[in-house]
Structure formats: structure tokens, C-alpha cells
Amino acid sequence: MKGTSKRLLLFHFLFSAAALSCTGDGTGPTARTLEERLQAALDEGFAGTEGKGLSVAVLVPGRSMWTGVAGVSHDDVPITPRTAFGAGSITKTFTALTVLRLAEEGYLSLDDSLHSWLPDYPHVDHDITIRQLLNHTSGLSDFVDVPGWIIPLLQEPNRVWGMEEYFLETIREPYFEKGTGWSYSTSGYILLRMIIELASGSTVGAQYREYVIDPLELSDTYVCPYDPLPADWAHGWLDITGDDVYDDFSIIPTTSWCSAVGGAVYTTPTDLTKLGDALMHERTLLDDPSYDEMTDFYYPSGHDEPMVYGYGLGLLWFNSSFVSGEKVWGHAGNAPGYAAGMLYMVDHGVVVSLMDNTEYGEAMIVVDGIFDVVTDYMGSH
């Protein structure tokens, strides 16, 4: 599976048949409150994993947002609802939203080619359009497929990379001719962040803040390296030495990683749920034509990302076999030491967000029980 564990989320175990569920104790849907049942699903699911820490938020229409936590950041420091985690590739949704808002305001067009914004680069067809970068039909290679891609970042953790510098360091031959296939490429999103800065005359961090963070009052969302991370951010756990034992990745500065990818979002499930609700349920972040563009899903075939049924512009339609048969939009993410998911249950209008501080998302399996509770509740109301 080409790079999947480093790019999206390890959902191959997330919704397994062996997942624990709080609905198996014979208790009817009205015997406990929704909040009690969600907490039970989190507690029971987390107890069956080797996770370090987990934070979850659920927003059901007409109800207050529920939050639940389990485990620790490190030592005996507990996870709280305001503990920030690395969002990984959910940052792509921030990128796409910002590009679409800049397009609405006339700073760029989705049909602009790279010729309009960037110089010629090796292994890059400069007739690729912004839209093709957004929906991963550009054919560009992905830096996580380069053996040892993370080694330079670990060796010089305080180094400030330019986005162009890291892109040129890791770009390889394209996977296919633009527009003739589909393959997930974070490298393409580095180019999009470069275009955001050129079009706006400002930093990616400032543009995320203007178009996403500030309008939604996402008070616990940070864009690294532009924003200082809070003192109580969750330590990320990663097998750095290859001995199958997790190491505390937070001892390594974030400077190299964040600057290389051009801005990495750190946030909470509460803020992700606010974003998911505003974007996909309330639909307040984009004009209708832009929303239609974002949800114009490309349905790839023959690719090696099994959790992908369709991909829009920075928005993922999950393969239903990975999400309990539900119709789910949103995005998943991995960053060094973190796993995350922002999941919109389309038929129910419910947003579920989860964040875990281990490389392989050890505790993310609890979402199966969370989904069971939500669908049971929605079916009885």
C-alpha cells in the first residue's frame, strides 16, 4: 500500500469486526443518555488498545457538542479536550478552503496552470492546473514514497526549510500524465501552499487564519511554524529507532517538519468538529458554486488507497466498507506521532472528530463504537 500509513490514516484496523462497542450490553438506547453512551464507547474501546492518548468530539444536530478524552500526552500528563494534536493531512482541507476562498475573491482561478504561478521544476508538467493539484489528478509523485524522506528532517530538526527547497529535494518522476489517473500527493499540496502565498502576498498561516480559523473562532488551532504551539500540546509517539517501541517524538523540534510541508495544523477535535459542521452541514464557509466544486468528487479506480471512494477538492469520500457502511465525507490525517479523523456522517448531519498521539493511531478504533451509538440514537429520534 503505497505510502498510505504516512499520508491518510490506518483505517485498515479502524473499523474491524473485532471493534468494541458499548451497544452490546443489552442496554436500550434510552436507558442511558447519549453522552453517557458515547463516553462508554470511548472508555471501552480505548481500554482494548495500546494507545497513549485520545480525544473525541461529536456534534449531533440540535444538541450541544460532546467531548471525551482518555489516556495521557506523556508521563502522567492527561489529555484534556483542549489538548492540541497534529492534524496531519486534514491540513489539506484548510489548504483547499483557502484556495477556494482566494478564487472567490479573484486572486486565482482553479483552471490556472502552474505556468501562471511557478517556475519550471524537474519532473513537473507545468500545464498541471490548480484543480488537478487539489483533487490529486496531477500525476505528481509524493515525497512520502521517497525512501528515507523523513531522515533529513530528523537529522536537522531546527532547520528552516523553504517549501520550494523541500519540494525540489523530494520530487521524483510523475506517476502518470496529468489528468489520466489519480494518486494521493502531499507534494502537490506543497505547491498549492506556495501558490497561496504568491496569490495573497501573505503566509499560509495568515491565510488559514483569515479564511478558516478566525471566522470559526477556532481558539485551539495553530499553524506551525507560524504560531507558537501551546505548552500543553500532546506529545506525539513515533518509532524513531525502528525497534517497534514508541519514542516521544516531541523531544525533536517541529521546525524542520512544519517548514518543509509549508504549515502544519495542530488542533483539537472540538475545533475540527466546528470546521466540519460549518463546512459540510451548515455550509457557511463557501459560496454555493465553490462548495459544489469542493464536493465534485473524482472516483478513482485502480489506485492503492483502499479507504478512498471519491476525492473532491481537499475533501475525502470514505469507502463505506471502512466506515460501517455509512456515507462519510471529511478527511483523515497522519503526521509524525499523530493520527486524526474529521468525519461527517452525511445522512445524519453528525460530525465526529478523533485525534490520537501515536504514529499508527492505536486508539482510533473507538470510532466504530462511537458510530454505533450515533446511528442507534439517530434511528430512535
List of residues 6+ apart from 297 with CB closer than 8 A: 309, 310, 311, 312, 315, 317
| pLDDT score at 301 | 79
86 alpha carbon, distance to own chain's centre: 9
Lowest mean pLDDT among 115-124, 151-160, 349-358: 151-160
Q: Looking at 2-155, list the stretches that DSSP marks H as alpha helix, in order from N- to C-terminal side.
A: 4-7, 34-47, 91-104, 130-134, 151-155
Q: Is the pLDDT of residue 307 over 60?
A: yes
Sign for the CA dihedral angle at 195, 88, 340, 59 comes to negative
| Cα gap 269→47, rounded to integer Å | 20
What is residue 324's predicted lDDT score, i.e. its pLDDT?
Answer: 82
Residue 244 backbone zone (phi > 0: left; psi -120 to 50: alpha; other: beta): left
What CATH number is given to the structural domain containing 176?
A: 3.40.710.10
Give the SS3 label for residue 235. coil
Q: How many residues does the chain have?
A: 381
> Is the predicted pLDDT of residue 327 greater than 90, yes or no?
yes
Which stretches of the chain are DSSP H helices? 4-7, 34-47, 91-104, 130-134, 151-155, 163-170, 186-200, 204-208, 255-261, 269-276, 288-294, 366-379
Q: Answer yes or no: are the C-beta atoms of 118 and 194 closer than 8 Å.
A: yes
Q: What's the mean per-residue pLDDT of the chain?
A: 91
pLDDT at 31: 60
pLDDT tens-digit map of 15-47? 333 333 334 443 444 468 999 999 999 999 999
320 near 24, Cβ under 8 Å? no
Whole-angstrom distance, CA of residue 76 vs CA of residue 54: 14
pLDDT tens digits, one per residue of 175-227 = 999 999 999 999 999 999 999 999 999 999 999 999 999 999 999 999 999 99
Domain ranges, residue 268: 4-379
What pLDDT, on a 0 to 100 scale, did the predictor assign at position 331?
Answer: 98
Flag whether pLDDT at 172 surpasses 90: yes
- d(CA 315, CA 195) in angstroms, rounded, equals 19
- Hunting for cell 451548515 — which residue is that? 282
- Number of folded domains that form the chain: 1
Looking at residues 249-277, what average pLDDT do you find?
A: 95
